[in-house]
């Protein structure tokens, strides 16, 4: 039986409609309760958007697993359709096209997209979309609850980091 792991990734950005210097962001990576690999980290890049935060969270999670030399199946849960659609449907085409869209326009967050895509090439990943900010399911022993809980924890880690970063500005 092959090894598998479940990881939840989330990004947070605050004050997106403000001046760049007022924006703040954070990432959350959740492997499980009391797991030393869980991350709540501020984003220190100049360009902070929710998409950047989502990409960075996934990159961080996969680097952790790469550094552990994890070779099994990775179930990566995220509430970002942007990340999932890019990785599953577009990156292969973009790479063949010199990392440009079909209309020859630039790809948003190209360097982060390339980094994440290149990381995934040596990994077995199943991307799973989870709806953000939902009420918890009633049945706490259900798989639905476990998925909700993992996403809730990743969101909490990302939001805490984003708020911490915001207080410094």
Which of these ranges, 28-37, 46-55, 93-102, 160-169, has the smallest mean pLDDT? 160-169
**DSSP helix/strand/coil, 137:** coil
Q: How far apart are CA 169 and CA 165, in angstroms?
A: 7
In order of their start, the domains of the chain are 4-167 (3.30.420.10)
Per residue in 79-109, pLDDT (tens digit) is 999 999 999 999 999 999 999 998 999 999 9
* Cβ 8 vs Cβ 78: under 8 Å: yes
HSE (side-chain half, CA atoms, 13 Å) at 111: 2
Question: Using an 8 Å Cβ cutoff, are 157 and 39 in contact?
Answer: yes
What's the pLDDT tens digit per position in 41-57?
999 887 889 999 999 99
Chain-wide mean pLDDT for the chain? 91
């Amino acid at each position: 039986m092959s090894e598998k792991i479940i990881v939840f990734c989330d990004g947070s950005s605050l004050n997106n409609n403000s001046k760049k210097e007022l924006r703040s962001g954070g990432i959350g990576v959740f492997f499980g309760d009391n797991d030393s690999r869980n991350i709540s980290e501020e984003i220190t890049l100049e360009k902070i958007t929710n998409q950047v935060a989502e990409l960075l969270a996934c990159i961080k999670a996969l680097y952790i697993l790469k550094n552990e030399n994890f070779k099994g199946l990775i179930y990566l849960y995220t509430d970002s359709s942007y990340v999932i659609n890019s990785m599953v449907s577009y990156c292969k085409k973009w790479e063949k096209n010199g990392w440009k869209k079909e209309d020859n326009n630039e790809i948003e967050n190209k360097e982060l997209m390339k980094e994440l895509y290149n990381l995934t090439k040596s990994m077995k990943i199943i991307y799973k979309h989870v709806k953000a900010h939902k009420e918890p399911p009633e049945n706490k022993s259900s798989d639905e609850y476990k998925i909700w809980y993992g996403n809730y924890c990743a969101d909490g880690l990302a939001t805490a980091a984003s708020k911490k970063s915001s207080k410094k500005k």
